[in-house]
Structure 1
């Protein structure tokens, strides 16, 4: 009997340690590197989605312009583009609302919250990939409006997950690396008095902005090459897998306390 009790105590101790591990708050130190890497996903998805479905899921400024052009029935080659852009904008706003409340409710810097958030984003992308692979959403779905509005479904899901990714920059406190919007980053980069004079290790905000810009461009290049055949599914599976990898990374990320996973 003592052996049984010892085993039970050991199991309870392991469960308690595991629970403490996932309840621990993560340190924000070096988390900017994760946001910079996630900028690659932004470029990857936006370039692929625009190339195949003529819409953005992250760059909502472009969608806002297309929404405005739609009032006058333009662009004439795609008069229903406003519907796709409008759905993306609405979904992005809804996603921002949901993810921000969800993360605050669970505890924004808790390990479990970070893992859940990135896994949810990955699942949303995987759903879109499955819809594409099964033919529910054909490759030319973006050109079928107004006969079919099925393309709005993946656009909505992808925009929601994009908002979840942007929420991370706010939660982690790295406002200069939104991983989604670059217009302000371009301006802030050259607005910085020390953009050209500070040593590489003396201006981290500049470095983060440049890193984010480079990763978005690299992602856009990759998305372009991967959708040359106008098949977006492989990009979606790839992007979802990158999100899963980031979720796994948070499992082993250093916490603010001294809790160890043994």
Structure 2
């Protein structure tokens, strides 16, 4: 069931909640838009939202214009001083942004506000960079390129199945219920129980191809609403970012 939504000025293709304790209310969404004309260009943006404790609160507090973005990922929680957001884009760059807290000098105390600033960038390839992932210790990043190259090591396939007839753009495990996996396109939730895999729910509100999905890391976000699970999804073509609770969550709340 829908909780909140926001129209993005571009084709939405990635969305991620910040996993770090002080910033779990921060949601990042990225876009990619092909601009046609005498010379093709690929533009994009990163939008930061505050997902508040009150049901339905989704406030935009920063937007950064960039090259067309294909993927974004927050660094895993660990020894990092502050949260980092990595992006890969159509220009073949890997860029790292830091999420910095603002301070109220007049009051002499820290406010609950944040700002995203680019720290560094590196030209990875003349090809487009399509996706990225951090290692668990946040000390290295792997990047996939549009020329089909990717470095893999010590990988083992534990299960493979035909979930639907669309291309799969991203997948995300629920860290609170690791047997649950949400994937796109189709926005289906799969229950993986040993050697049995079952699609238990499909979310169809986007009515178009789906690109990004993530689970909220803090199940106690909404006080008084029980431990309801929050899922955030975005679609490349309807340009909508939606926050919803799975019907399969017995304590899910409604609007």
TM class by shorter-chain length? under 0.3
Output the TM-score relative to the length of structure 1. 0.24
Structure number with higher strand proportion: 2
Output the TM-score relative to the length of structure 2. 0.25
Structure number with higher helix proportion: 1
Greater relative contact order (Cα < 8 A, sep 6+):
1
